[in-house]
Amino acid sequence: MDGTSPPDVDDVVSTKVQKAAAPLYVSRIKVHPKDVKGLYRRIKWAVLALCLAVYYLAPFLRWDRGPTAPDQAILIDLPGRKAYFFMIEIWPQEVYFLTGLLILAAITLFLVTSLFGRLWCGYACPQTVWTDLFMWVERKIEGDRNARIKLDAAPYSAEKIVKRTLKHTAWIGIALATGGAWILYFDDAPTVIRDVFTGNATFTQYFFIGLFAATTYTLAGWAREQVCTYMCPWPRFQGAMLDDQSYVVTYEEWRGEKRGKLAKAAPGVDPWAGRGDCVDCNSCVAVCPTGIDIRDGQQLECIGCGLCIDACDAVMDKVGRPRGLIRFDTLANQACRAKGEPVTHKFIRPRTLIYAGVLAFVGAVMLVALLSRATVELNVLRDRAPLFVTLSSGDIRNAYTIHVLNKTHEPREFALAVSGLQGAVLGVAGSDAAAAPVVTLAAKPDSVATYRVFVTVPAQSVRGKASSPVRFDLKPREGRGAADYDSVFLAPGR
């Protein structure tokens, strides 16, 4: 069809049919995953228990930092503008540590994905962990898959109302505990708990408990697999980390097809002759938390949880066929198995080497930065108005605001001097001490001490120079750690 001729009727009809067949919005088909037992289910329970234990209990771990710093091992102290992670303390000036940690986490995820597929999604992602927990509660109260389907379809009765009320009450309880645990990371955990239960917590604390409870209840209770399928960006680009040597959940099509129900064979006839091992029982679909059929091949919705493996292995045991019709395997190995060739395991590949190399490099940089972390820092801000003052003696004076960051847990005293200016003396605002080449500045533990310091030089030292470089040197009176800061000293320039 050219641009001027009328559209062909068949084209119009076929376009209309396509539009009708593929609506932009598809209603959710509720998934009712069946309970399953097996190796991967046990691993999932173990990971779930570990993740929940870490999340709920970590704020109660203590770490002695002396009397001047909080003793909570993991703490984000927003009013104090510091983050604590056991022996590591991060000040606002060191936010690059957090950036480094995020980079490390991302590269680790890339590496794990390229080796073992979506392990994170299937086992440790908070959405998976909490959805599994909510499903477990649902199963305990409403029963397994068939009972839940029946209950969903049934009209409201006393039994249905009681079960639904119990389920949602339990869900809300877990959601509140989740939101409640979140705020424990931002203040002393035992104090927060006491305040929350006695009504003495702040509005912000109650607000965030409510916000995280609502999010947990909605995402884990209602949205579930839709978060993974529609909301999470990770499935969209994790394909870039996978290749045919990555371990993913695979269906052995070459062995399973031609599928079909297992019919009773006549005596002496092999019931498996001319057919595949898949008995089309749908067990793998029934247990899938995202409601897909792994026999259709690799799909974006598959979170790699491996529950379909457990379900199928149980069926294979029952019908007397070898396990592993669905298994964690590489696509390359599946191609070999289909041809009867030996399989190989290639963990070392260009992409895994690159990810491991980047991981090692970033990790090493972080480690060096952490080990060589300064315990004292100096920041200097020169006054802009006035730029300088000419004293009655003819000397020139500039004023500076000095910030001394004492990152240790002890009070410290420092000697501050300047270099680069002949005959310079320093004076501290509010101090009775006479101006001198070296002044003493004190800083409390874990704090920033702020001083206003005047630097005065004889006029002849800066004659003809409107701007002279000056270096501030800060040295502790005792112990290790020193800092310096380059600034300028302004003068009339005549």
Q: Which residues lie near ligand SF4 (CB under 6 A)? A: 249, 256, 278-284, 287-290, 292, 294-295, 302-308, 311-312, 315, 325-326
Rg (CA), the chain: 34
Q: Give the Cα separation of 231 and 246 in Å (integer).
A: 24
CB-CB contact of 77 with 85 (8 Å)? no
For 311, what's the count of Cα atoms within 13 Å in the CB-facing half-sphere?
24
Tell the smallest beta-carbon distance from residue 138 to ligand SF4 (Å).
17
Judged by beta carbon, residue 149 or residue 177, the one nearer ligand SF4 is 149
Tell the smallest beta-carbon distance from residue 289 to ligand SF4 (Å).
6
Tell the smallest beta-carbon distance from residue 325 to ligand SF4 (Å).
5
Tell the smallest beta-carbon distance from residue 273 to ligand SF4 (Å).
17
Beta-sheet pairing, 412-419 with 396-406: unpaired
Judged by beta carbon, residue 192 or residue 248, the one nearer ligand SF4 is 248
Judged by beta carbon, residue 329 or residue 395, the one nearer ligand SF4 is 329
Judged by beta carbon, residue 75 or residue 309, the one nearer ligand SF4 is 309
Judged by beta carbon, residue 84 or residue 247, the one nearer ligand SF4 is 247
Task: Specify burial of residue 410 (Cβ count, 10 A radius: 0-12, 13-18, 19+).
Answer: middle
Judged by beta carbon, residue 255 or residue 471, the one nearer ligand SF4 is 255
Tell the smallest beta-carbon distance from residue 23 to ligand SF4 (Å).
24
SS3 182: helix
Tell the smallest beta-carbon distance from residue 116 to ligand SF4 (Å).
12
Tell the smallest beta-carbon distance from residue 259 to ligand SF4 (Å).
6
SS3 56: helix
Tell the smallest beta-carbon distance from residue 118 to ligand SF4 (Å).
8
Q: Give the Cα separation of 132 and 46 in Å (integer).
A: 12
Judged by beta carbon, residue 325 or residue 483, the one nearer ligand SF4 is 325
CB-CB contact of 33 with 286 (8 Å)? yes
Q: Give the Cα separation of 51 and 181 in Å (integer).
A: 13
Report CA dihedral (153, 157, 160, 164) to the nearest 10 degrees.
110
Beta-sheet pairing, 438-443 with 396-406: unpaired
Tell the smallest beta-carbon distance from residue 230 to ligand SF4 (Å).
15
CB-CB contact of 308 with 326 (8 Å)? yes
Judged by beta carbon, residue 247 or residue 489, the one nearer ligand SF4 is 247
> CB pairs under 8 A, 24+ apart, for 485-489?
485/378, 485/379, 485/380, 487/380, 487/382, 487/400, 488/382, 489/388, 489/396, 489/398, 489/420, 489/421, 489/424, 489/455, 489/457, 489/462
Judged by beta carbon, residue 312 or residue 439, the one nearer ligand SF4 is 312
Query: How many CB atoms are closer than 10 A to CB 129?
Result: 20
